[in-house]
Amino acid sequence: MVQTATQVLDWLGIVVFALTGALVASRKEMDVVGFAVLATVTGIGGGTVRDVLLDVPVFWVREPAYLITCVVVALVAFFTAHVPQSRYRYLLWLDAVGLALFAVAGTEKAMETGVGATVAMAMGVITATFGGIIRDLLGGEVPVILSREIYASAALAGAAAFVALGAIGVPREAAIAAGFVVGLLIRAAALRYGWSLPRYRSRPGLPHDPRR
Amino acid sequence: MVQTATQVLDWLGIVVFALTGALVASRKEMDVVGFAVLATVTGIGGGTVRDVLLDVPVFWVREPAYLITCVVVALVAFFTAHVPQSRYRYLLWLDAVGLALFAVAGTEKAMETGVGATVAMAMGVITATFGGIIRDLLGGEVPVILSREIYASAALAGAAAFVALGAIGVPREAAIAAGFVVGLLIRAAALRYGWSLPRYRSRPGLPHDPRR
Amino acid sequence: MVQTATQVLDWLGIVVFALTGALVASRKEMDVVGFAVLATVTGIGGGTVRDVLLDVPVFWVREPAYLITCVVVALVAFFTAHVPQSRYRYLLWLDAVGLALFAVAGTEKAMETGVGATVAMAMGVITATFGGIIRDLLGGEVPVILSREIYASAALAGAAAFVALGAIGVPREAAIAAGFVVGLLIRAAALRYGWSLPRYRSRPGLPHDPRR
């Protein structure tokens, strides 16, 4: 089932993203099926969009273990999600780990299909962010991707580090690990220290007008 | 055009889901094009997602009759939607019929492409629920899939009944009919008697904190 | 890179839609990565949905210039979006140009794959509207497609004019230009004079009940 380093990242990413979906379900006090649905769409959503765009077979359609894993994660969370002291903080940190994992795994899978580095990095960012986007749309949360702290940029940095190291001849496993660490450190620093990029500001001195 | 029992289910499902889309359009007092758009995306949305995931040709791309049917349903509804005494109740019951129809039809189409039972049932649930999800997102309604009464579980039960009966040798048409009845009865009972599954509850004794 | 009249329309449509995405980002005071993400999904979203439904390779996956163009548009907007006096008005007019461009380009690309006229026009409407739908969902705006003025109908009229003129033997470039002008004039008139189609009205004399 697991044959490559990318698949290991994929499995880990699916488990942690499924867990974030289940945590959103617990915040909305859903029933167990709601847990399973949110955990599954979050766990497999990003990779599904990537595979459809690349026009390769969707990874979980021939391999039921992915779906079953998401449902098991949902069941475990349904009975234990009351344990952590702060579910929202857990959600953000797990989401950060999944983001860094999928940024590298998505980029690598795209490169294996022969697309160029720019598109491959875009696929990494898509894989890393779309599961969370679907989770937040369905669960009625404010999308994490619109958060004020660095988010998609961390995925992009991880993907770029992986591509750059591979291009200069670093062995694949080392490039994968480095890309993951870069993405996670940047997002973790954003969460821990509130790092953010400069934001667009309207012209000073103009009266506020929400329709402009 | 209609060659198999699944296609009969598909057509019926498309008509009733298109009607739910038109009812949402009437609740929002849209114009006739709004009716046509919401009816069409609701009628064909679930099957479209299923076909894209299975990587088979999308069913309505080579057969314009599906689109035309949705538009005709929208036109009829535009001029008659004021007739029923309670549009929202009609919407929920039609949605229940479409849910049960598509749960079985989606599962069968997936099995015909050779995927396993777990994935096929997931495809049934996706076919049954995604049209309504898109309808509710575009129409600004609270997604029915997040309703407190049993919903996705009814689709799953219908799909599972169809798969189980087929596996023990029940003829296909009988298994299809039974799966439809199981799904519809469960969702109907949920609507009629307020059936729901136990919901996740936060730890008692802790103060309410929306960010947890 | 650009070989056909459709590709010229595609490029122009991508640039103006990317700009509308960046304008939404500026209204939400996002950072530069938020600008790039919203510009890109808006610029390429409609054509991506079209290509996935038609089961042809997604147009930007083998051609990074599309992604790079969207990012450049986002960068330019990030540093100049404070210049226009009324960003929302610019957004609506650019959206109108993109709508008319993509309605024709989407219809033509669909016809090139051999689908019939009905489905091809539906693909034109999908190409013209889905980028804006994704932009408004992600950016938290009220979807323009639900606006009270004529919108999807303008795309449909442009697509229909293109198909009808082609069917009676008008040269392709002339039919493309005419379809674009028809779509743009109708949407422009709707914006300028508040044109709208008759809307569905609940039965008079009944008390207002939001659940009906």
Cβ <8 Å between C55 and B57 = yes
Q: Choosing among C109, C199, C201, C211, which should be mutated to test the B contact, i.e. which has the most B CBs within 10 A? A: C199
What CA–CA distance (Å, rounded) separates B74 from B186? Answer: 28
Contact B119 A64 (CB under 8 A): yes
Say yes or no for a CB contact (<8 Å) between A61 and B55. Answer: yes
Chain B hits for A33, Cβ within 8 Å? 150-153, 156, 197
Kindly report which listed range (A74-83, A171-180, B118-127) carries the lowest average pLDDT score.
A74-83
Determine the average pLDDT of the residues in A175-201. 89
Q: What percentage of chain B has pLDDT greater than the value 70?
A: 90
- Please report residues of B whose CB lies closer than 8 A to that of C183: none
Average pLDDT over residues C158-167: 96
pLDDT of residue C102: 95
pLDDT at C115 over 60: yes
A147: tokens are: 């958060």
In a domain, C206, yes or no: no
The shortest C-alpha distance from A88 to chain C (Å) reads 21
Residue carrying structure tokens 């390429």 = C44
- B-chain CB neighbours of A25 within 8 Å are 200
Q: Do A28 and B53 touch (CB under 8 A)?
A: no
CA atoms within 13 A on the CB side of B100: 21
Min Cα distance C5 → chain A (Å) is 25
- Band the pLDDT of B26: cuts 50, 70, 90: confident
DSSP string, B123-166: HHHHHHHHHHHHHHHHHTPPPGGG-SS--HHHHHHHHHHHHHHH
Residue C3 pLDDT: 62
- CB pair distance less than 8 Å for B200 and A30: yes
Q: Please give the average per-residue pLDDT across A18-26, as a whole number.
A: 91
Q: Specify the number of domains making up chain B.
A: 1
Taking an 8 Å Cβ-Cβ cutoff, which residues of chain C contact chain A? 25-35, 37, 40, 48, 52, 55, 57-58, 60-62, 64, 67-68, 78, 81-82, 85-88, 137-138, 140
* Residues A74, A35: Cα–Cα separation, whole Å: 5
Q: Which domain holds residue B126?
A: 5-193
Residue C209 lies in a domain: no
Return the pLDDT at C207: 46
- CA pseudo-torsion sign A161, A162, A167, A171: positive
Q: Using CB atoms, pick whichever of C48, C55, C64 lies closest to residue A118.
A: C64
| B208 inside domain | no
Structural domain contains residue B203: no
Residue B207 confidence (pLDDT):
46
Give the B:C interface size as CB pairs under 8 Å: 73
DSSP state of B85: S
What's the average model confidence in pLDDT over C131-158? 83
Give residue B156's pLDDT band: very low, low, confident or very high (50, 70, 90). very high
Q: Say if residues B38 and B4 touch (Cβ distance below 8 Å).
A: no
Neighboring chains of C (3 or more beta-carbon pairs < 8 A): A, B
Q: Where is average pLDDT lowest: B148-152, C12-16, C59-63? A: B148-152
Give the distance from residue A49's alpha carbon to the nearest chain B alpha carbon, in angstroms.
9
How confident is the model over C55-71, as a mean pLDDT? 94
| CB-CB contact of B178 with B162 (8 Å) | yes
| Ranges A13-27, A100-114, C96-110, C146-160: which has the least confidence | C146-160
Q: Which pLDDT belongs to residue B202?
A: 67
pLDDT band with cut points at 50, 70 and 90 for residue A210: very low
Average pLDDT (A14-21) is 94
- Give the model confidence (pLDDT) of A114-149 as tens digits: 999 999 999 999 999 999 988 888 887 777 777 677
Contact A197 C28 (CB under 8 A): no
3-state secondary structure of A154: helix
Q: Which of A53, A118, A150 sits opposite C48 (nearest CB)?
A: A53
pLDDT at C17 over 90: yes
Determine the 3-state secondary structure of C139 from DSSP: helix
- The pLDDT of residue C40 is above 60: yes
Residue given tokens 């894989």 in the structure block: A127
- Give the nearest chain C residue to B89 (CA atoms): C212
Token pair for residue A151? 């988010």
- Number of A–C residue contacts, CB under 8 Å: 74
Is B211 within the bounds of a domain?
no
Residue C75 in domain: yes
**Residue from the list B26, B62, B137 with its beta carbon closest to the beta carbon of C115:** B62
Query: With contacts defined as CB-CB under 8 Å, which chain B residues touch A137?
Result: 137
pLDDT value for A106: 95
Cα-Cα-Cα-Cα dihedral sign, residues C70, A106, C29, C127: positive
The answer to whether position A207 is within a domain reads: no
- C64:A200 CB<8 A: no
Specify the pLDDT at position B46.
95
> Is pLDDT above 80 for A201?
no
Query: Above 80 in pLDDT, residue A71?
Result: yes
Residue that wins the pLDDT comparison between B85 and B123: B123
Q: How far is B135 from chain A (nearest CA, A)?
A: 13
B187-B191-B196-B202 Cα dihedral, nearest 10 degrees? 130
- Mean pLDDT (chain C) is 87
Count the Cβ atoms, other than its own, within 10 Å of residue C82. Answer: 16
User: What confidence score (pLDDT) does residue B84 get?
Assistant: 66
pLDDT confidence band for C176 (50 / 70 / 90): very high
pLDDT band at A150 (very low <50, low <70, confident <90, very high): confident
Which of B24-38, B77-91, B110-124, C77-91 has maximum average pLDDT?
B110-124
pLDDT-derived band at B206, boundaries 50, 70, 90: very low
Neighbours of chain B (3+ CB pairs under 8 A): A, C
The ipTM is: 0.85
Gap from B58 CA to chain C (nearest CA, Å): 6
* Residue whose token pair is 């997936």: B110
CA of B206, closest CA in chain C: separation in Å? 33
3-state class (DSSP) for residue A64: coil
Q: Is residue A61 part of a domain?
A: yes
* Alpha carbon distance A23, A35 (integer Å): 8
